[in-house]
Structure 1
């Protein structure tokens, strides 16, 4: 009878090692998943205990976005807070702003903003106007001019904001010589052909332009 063949010392170990790896990977994945779930639950519990908006309430922001863009700020009553806007919206002070890439007329622009839980932007201060002007200037490429509708239009001979904020003659930013042609040009847009922040111009409401939507930010 021929002698029994013995395995070389190096052949058995890899077989055992291959058997262990799938079990090791399974437990690593399971532990990581449990840790991640615990962190999410803990974050929501801390938010609730501190009296801040719940995780579900954050979903009420425009577009029902599941992703957020937050910046650190200050609140006189709370100290340091996070100001949060949906991803794709820009935070400034207490509001979130959406600068569209597509174009449509003024009425459709307002309807589009309303559908996202917002409205065409209402500009109340010089600081807000500066923020908007600086942002839209960055969208200009070469000599191309991009106009952005705001929530100001002429109704029954009076300029009116979409949220019924009173029109304040001392807080307006018309291009010198504007508004004009009031019989046909009854809707207002930011005109990026202007170098400074006095860039409001009135146009026919049927003109297709970009738009700026505004809604309240969420502080946490």
Structure 2
């Protein structure tokens, strides 16, 4: 009797040889070709791995750059806030009640009135330079909201000097306060005959004809100024 046709020379390392007989040798050859032949249309495993790690490195680099920029922006903001902090505060207790421990504070050498603090810089500057100076201290040029506020500030000003306040005209006599407070014509303190010139677009407070009032002047003039900021509450 003829012995079975067993292919003992086919070395399938990735698949164990079945203990049964193989009846058709042609069915085994495609398996051998499929295991050892790579498809030229697709990248091999090492190339795909290289591309994956390259893409990962690029994404990591982008993420690090974004984080570094965010950290830089945060550090800059922190430094800016630090520059605005005042080292010394003068505080008063708004309410004498023991239960209410809210204190209202102004930076040292600033004058308190109502809910704001006021300061007169020593230098002379244009309107925009004066506003920039106030801004560097966390404040802005003074906004006058009432007769009481006007009277308060004039008591601490030198009647021989003029002071910029936060009122200006961007054009067509549309007066605007620097903090966007609406301009209320019923609460204005112009000197008689003022404002007088369309080319004078910034406002000072000065003493004239035995009283304090407002006068429009060129924004480039050098004057003193009054800075204003909200009180700090503790």
TM-score range normalised by the length of the shorter chain = 0.5 to 0.7
2:101 is the counterpart of 1:85:
no
Question: What TM-score do the two structures reach when normalised by structure 2?
Answer: 0.59
Distance 1:82 1:61 in 2: 22
1:176 corresponds to: 192
Within-5 A mapping of 1:182-201: 182=198, 184-197=199-212, 199-201=213-215
Shift of 1:79: 5.8
2:226 is the counterpart of 1:212:
yes
Runs of 5+ consecutive residues of structure 2 not aligned to the other structure: 1-80
2:163 is the counterpart of 1:148:
yes
2:153 corresponds to: 132
| Deviations 1:156-214, CA, capped at 9 Å, x for gaps | 211011111111110000011111012x21100111345334x1111111110111111
Root mean square deviation of aligned Cα: 2.4
Runs of 5+ consecutive residues of structure 1 not aligned to the other structure: 1-59
| Deviations 1:42-89, CA, capped at 9 Å, x for gaps | xxxxxxxxxxxxxxxxxx6984221112234349xx867532111121
Shift of 1:116: 1.1
2:89 is the counterpart of 1:68:
yes
- Answer 1 or 2: higher relative contact order, Cα 8 Å, separation at least 6: 1
Question: What TM-score do the two structures reach when normalised by structure 1?
Answer: 0.63
Determine which of 217, 220, 227 is the counterpart of 1:203.
Answer: 217
Report the 3-state secondary structure (helix = DSSP H, G, I; strand = E; otherwise coil) of the residue aligned with 1:206.
Answer: coil
| Larger gyration radius, structure 1 or structure 2 | 2
1:25 corresponds to: none
* Higher strand proportion (structure 1 or 2): 1
